[in-house]
A and B are shown apart, each in its own frame.
Chain A
Amino acid sequence: MRRLRFLSFWLGALIGALTGRGRRKRIVEEGSESPGAELAVVGLLLLSAVFAIGFVVVLATGSWPNRTQYEGIALGGSLLLMAFALILVSKKLIVTEQNEEDYPEPEHPEEQAEVTQIVRESGSRFTRKRLVKGAFAAAGGALGVAAIAPAISFGPALDPFELNWTPWKRGKRLVTEDGAPLKASDIEMETFYTAYPEHSARDNIAAPVVIVRLQPRALKLPRSRRNWAPQGIVAYSKICTHAGCAIALYRKPTFPPVQPDPALVCPCHYSTFDPAAGGKVLFGPAGRNLPQLPLMIDSAGHLRAAGNFSGPVGPSWWGVRMKGPITQDR
């Protein structure tokens, strides 16, 4: 046996030597050499290495004035130089092969039939297939629900009216960002103020209000809100009823006869509200008026809420018109 193998090896070698088949046939086509391109590739790669080292040097030497720019040029440059080296390799040093290949079979009808058959035949011992399937579906579905159920601890999804909570209630004083109570006499015409409820969390969509003072005779509030604006001071939620951005713009005319009326504007989609008319939408996409906070002035001259907002604060949702704002301190 061993001898036979030995013999066949030498026989093969002999035939190979005689017929010139010792080397395997080339798979990749031959092409001409191009030493110039090789040198260029080497040059690019070395330069790339220099840039990469430059990056390390910039990092190590610390605080240059335009550190980030040098870093970017060094690292980006190094990568780009290497990319160019590879492009040169592909264009000048690799043989341009054009291969042809058949697309894969579009279908395998025999295997399709067999797969179908296997699946069908495997279930032949069941007599009440639909019942079993239904039972599996029930178990699987219930297990699926059970698997998702813990997600309920993500948030109070079952009590959506938490969206109507506000920290405001009758008697709450209005304070500035620094916590100082605002006096009615602090509020001047032709400007706007931001205020928060005293002793309540500020990082709540229903907390911030914007206050402006208008000429009492310029007010066009609904009849039910006659007493909401003592001395012409009105307060509105600072959160837009469209998409929840802060109403950070107040425009007021210097010369009303030829200039636009006072308005509160949201910078996100430019919803525009009329502070004189109870927060009515004048322009922009908001679908609800801006909620107004009724005000009163206490004996010390401080501004206090005279109740809760005229409606829920923030963007609309399916229940936003069902209930009014609910007082809840958080």
Chain B
Amino acid sequence: MRRARIAIAATLLVLALAAVAYAQLPSGIARPDNEQNLSTQELGAQLYAGNCASCHGIAGRGVAVPGATRGAGNIKGQGPSLVGVGAQAAHLYLTTGFMPLSNPHEQPWRSRVLFNRRELASLIQYVASLGKGPPIPHPRPETGDVSEGMHLFTSHCAGCHQVAAEGGYVTDARVPLIKEDTPTQIAEAVRVGPYLMPKFSKKYISDRQLNSIIAYLQATKQPRDIGGWGIGHIGPVPEGMVTWFIAAVALIALCVLIGERLRGTV
């Protein structure tokens, strides 16, 4: 009996350890040892060499065809050129945790940002210095019109992102929820078009319109749930779950309570 208990405890411990090990993100990034002593420029260049160059190439020239050898982070790299993408794209990809990506065939997905503030700033500055490109935008959603934003979002974005910005699916890829994104990140994503997302120039969607779209997205963070509990704002799927798991269960309980009056007397 006792032995069995010990065995169970040991198994649980092993399982717990395995779970911890599995949950632990690979620390992922390479840092220079003497980080404090480096100038911003040097730090950016070194971080780039250690974490980005295996895919984006030396001086951001890109890697069109993967080389025979594995680069930094043991990655067989392949990636687009970064010349001319500017601080705009670098800021988007790095502050969302899209980059660095452990496998170039994977979809960049929002994850924990592994760089600290100074490292981020240095790296963004470095990428921006690779060629003339757009700077980090400064959207002003408070000047936007929510109604115009809703209309534009429905026309251009809802097909993938869902009309209440709850995310979705496009063939071969997931569409992220964008409620967590800051106005700056949204503005960048619209202009950059990360991964499979189309990009929208200022000629297509003006900065004023973009402010409206961001204003609408800010509003979707706190939708007008005047009807009560919002159950996710994706409509019929959670509604069906409430129907079966709350309403039907309550009604069956009511039936059982009311029915069978003869139980016990029989």
A, B co-complexed = yes
Interface residues of A (CB under 8 A from B): 66-69, 72, 83, 87, 90-91, 96, 98, 177, 186, 188, 190-194, 246-255, 257-260, 263, 265, 267, 270, 272, 282-284
Interface of B: prevailing SS: loop
Given A96-B265, A191-B204, A252-B193, A87 and B258 contact (CB-CB distance below 8 Å): yes
Instruction: Name the residue of chain A whose CB is nearest to the CB of B198.
Output: A191
B203 within 8 A of A: yes
Complex Cα gap A267–B78 (Å): 31
Instruction: Please name all residues of chain A whose beta carbon is closer than 8 Å to the beta carbon of B13 when the two chains form the complex.
Output: none
Is B203 a contact partner of A186 (Cβ separation < 8 A)?
yes
Instruction: Please name all residues of chain B whose beta carbon is closer than 8 Å to the beta carbon of A251 when the two chains form the complex.
Output: 160, 170-173, 196-198
Contact flags B186-225 to A (C-beta < 8 A → 1, else 0): 0000000111111111011000000000000000000000
Number of A-B contacts (CB under 8 A): 96
**Closest CB in chain A relative to B242 CB, distance in Å:** 14
**Closest CB in chain B relative to A310 CB, distance in Å:** 22
Is B78 a contact partner of A259 (Cβ separation < 8 A)?
no
Is A188 a contact partner of B204 (Cβ separation < 8 A)?
yes
Is B170 a contact partner of A249 (Cβ separation < 8 A)?
yes
Is B172 a contact partner of A260 (Cβ separation < 8 A)?
yes
Is B228 a contact partner of A68 (Cβ separation < 8 A)?
yes
Complex Cα gap A98–B262 (Å): 8
Interface residues of B (CB under 8 A from A): 64-65, 78-80, 104-105, 155, 158-160, 168-173, 193-201, 203-204, 226-228, 254, 257-258, 261-262, 265
Partner of A258, one of B104, B193, B198: B104
**Closest CB in chain A relative to B82 CB, distance in Å:** 11
**Closest CB in chain B relative to A86 CB, distance in Å:** 9
Complex Cα gap A257–B65 (Å): 8
**Closest CB in chain A relative to B265 CB, distance in Å:** 6
Is B199 a contact partner of A190 (Cβ separation < 8 A)?
yes
Instruction: Please name all residues of chain A whose beta carbon is closer than 8 Å to the beta carbon of B160 when the two chains form the complex.
Output: 248-249, 251, 267
Is B159 a contact partner of A249 (Cβ separation < 8 A)?
yes
Instruction: Name the residue of chain A whose CB is nearest to the CB of B104.
Output: A258
Partner of B198, one of A186, A246, A252, A282: A252
Partner of B226, one of A68, A191, A250, A282: A68
Q: Most chain-A CB neighbours within 10 Å: which of B78, B169, B172, B200?
A: B172
Is B194 a contact partner of A254 (Cβ separation < 8 A)?
yes
Instruction: Please name all residues of chain B whose beta carbon is closer than 8 Å to the beta carbon of A67 when the two chains form the complex.
Output: 226
Complex Cα gap A200–B198 (Å): 29
Not counting A90-B258, A188-B204, a sample of 15 additional A-B residue pairs whose C-beta atoms are within 8 angstroms of each other reads: A69-B228, A72-B228, A191-B198, A246-B159, A248-B159, A249-B159, A249-B170, A251-B160, A251-B198, A252-B196, A254-B196, A257-B64, A258-B78, A260-B196, A270-B169
Instruction: Name the residue of chain A whose CB is nearest to the CB of B79.
Output: A255
**Closest CB in chain A relative to B207 CB, distance in Å:** 16
Q: List 14 A-B contacts (CB under 8 A).
A: A67-B226, A68-B228, A177-B155, A191-B199, A251-B160, A251-B170, A251-B171, A251-B196, A254-B80, A254-B195, A259-B195, A270-B169, A282-B171, A284-B171
Instruction: Name the residue of chain B whose CB is nearest to the CB of A193.
Output: B204
Instruction: Name the residue of chain B whose CB is nearest to the CB of A245.
Output: B159
Is B80 a contact partner of A255 (Cβ separation < 8 A)?
yes
Is A194 a contact partner of B80 (Cβ separation < 8 A)?
no
Complex Cα gap A272–B171 (Å): 7
Q: Most chain-A CB neighbours within 10 Å: which of B64, B199, B227, B262?
A: B199
Complex Cα gap A83–B79 (Å): 67
Instruction: Please name all residues of chain A whose beta carbon is closer than 8 Å to the beta carbon of B228 when the two chains form the complex.
Output: 68-69, 72
Instruction: Please name all residues of chain B whose beta carbon is closer than 8 Å to the beta carbon of A177 when the two chains form the complex.
Output: 155
Complex Cα gap A251–B175 (Å): 11
Given A251-B196, A253-B196, A254-B194, A265 and B203 contact (CB-CB distance below 8 Å): no
Complex Cα gap A192–B205 (Å): 12
**Closest CB in chain B relative to A212 CB, distance in Å:** 9
**Closest CB in chain B relative to A75 CB, distance in Å:** 14
Instruction: Name the residue of chain A whose CB is nearest to the CB of B205.
Output: A191
Is B198 a contact partner of A250 (Cβ separation < 8 A)?
yes
Q: Most chain-A CB neighbours within 10 Å: which of B159, B195, B227?
A: B159
Is B193 a contact partner of A188 (Cβ separation < 8 A)?
no
Complex Cα gap A282–B189 (Å): 27
Complex Cα gap A90–B168 (Å): 51
Complex Cα gap A235–B168 (Å): 25
Is B196 a contact partner of A265 (Cβ separation < 8 A)?
no
Is B171 a contact partner of A283 (Cβ separation < 8 A)?
yes
Is A188 a contact partner of B80 (Cβ separation < 8 A)?
no
Complex Cα gap A268–B64 (Å): 35
Is A260 a contact partner of B171 (Cβ separation < 8 A)?
yes
Complex Cα gap A246–B160 (Å): 12
Complex Cα gap A259–B79 (Å): 10
Complex Cα gap A66–B227 (Å): 8
Instruction: Please name all residues of chain A whose beta carbon is closer than 8 Å to the beta carbon of B105 when the two chains form the complex.
Output: 258
Instruction: Name the residue of chain B whose CB is nearest to the CB of A83.
Output: B254
Complex Cα gap A84–B79 (Å): 68
Partner of A91, one of B80, B168, B261: B261
Is B158 a contact partner of A248 (Cβ separation < 8 A)?
yes
**Closest CB in chain A relative to B14 CB, distance in Å:** 38
Complex Cα gap A203–B34 (Å): 65
Instruction: Please name all residues of chain B whose beta carbon is closer than 8 Å to the beta carbon of A87 when the two chains form the complex.
Output: 257-258
Is A191 a contact partner of B193 (Cβ separation < 8 A)?
yes
Given A248-B159, A260-B171, A260-B196, A68 and B227 contact (CB-CB distance below 8 Å): yes
Complex Cα gap A255–B80 (Å): 6
Is A188 a contact partner of B158 (Cβ separation < 8 A)?
no
Instruction: Please name all residues of chain B whose beta carbon is closer than 8 Å to the beta carbon of A252 when the two chains form the complex.
Output: 193, 196-198
